[in-house]
Amino acid sequence: MNLNKLFLLIFLIFNAQTAFSVQWVEIGADAEAIYFVDLNSIHKAEDSHTVIKKAIYSQYRTEYLGSSKVTFISTVGVVELDCNLNINRVIQIDMLDGDENVVWSSGYMERRVWQDVRDNTHAKKTYDLVCENYN
């Protein structure tokens, strides 16, 4: 997939709320957050899938990103999955405040490293949902 098509895909995914309804489904929780995926955002492209994933944290979190201090309560990101190799990566992540305003965004991360999908994690539940039902 060329870079222009990928940027278009990401733009369409993040602006999909105006085109159709968002269908968040809870896929897991841990001590820090509850995790959701938007079923309407799942998209298959050549050898991978993308999906929008949200985390809502139980309390505000603070991250130091470079020289900036960012406080947020939730994140929304685009996750890319390779169902054949059992790997995934986050290719964009936005941190949101309590009013769902973006307080920091990674932008598109073209060279993000792929990671193994580990058992008993929300990443594995996301992988199973997407790869078993939309492959």
Task: Give residue-wise pLDDT tens across range 94-132.
Answer: 999 999 999 999 999 989 999 999 999 999 999 999 999
Cβ–Cβ under 8 Å, residues 52 and 13: yes
Q: Using 50, 70 and 90 to split pLDDT, how confident is the model at 67?
A: confident
Q: Look at residue 2 and give its three-state secondary structure.
A: coil
The neighbouring-strand residues paired with 26 are 36
**Residue 77, helix vs strand vs coil:** strand
Measured between alpha carbons, how far is 106 from 20 in angstroms, rounded to an integer?
A: 25
* pLDDT above 80: residue 43: yes
Q: Would you say 49 and 81 are in contact if contact means Cβ atoms under 8 Å apart?
A: yes
Q: pLDDT per residue over 97-107, tens digit each?
A: 999 999 999 99
The domains located in the chain, with CATH, are: 3-133 (2.40.128.710)
pLDDT of residue 104: 96
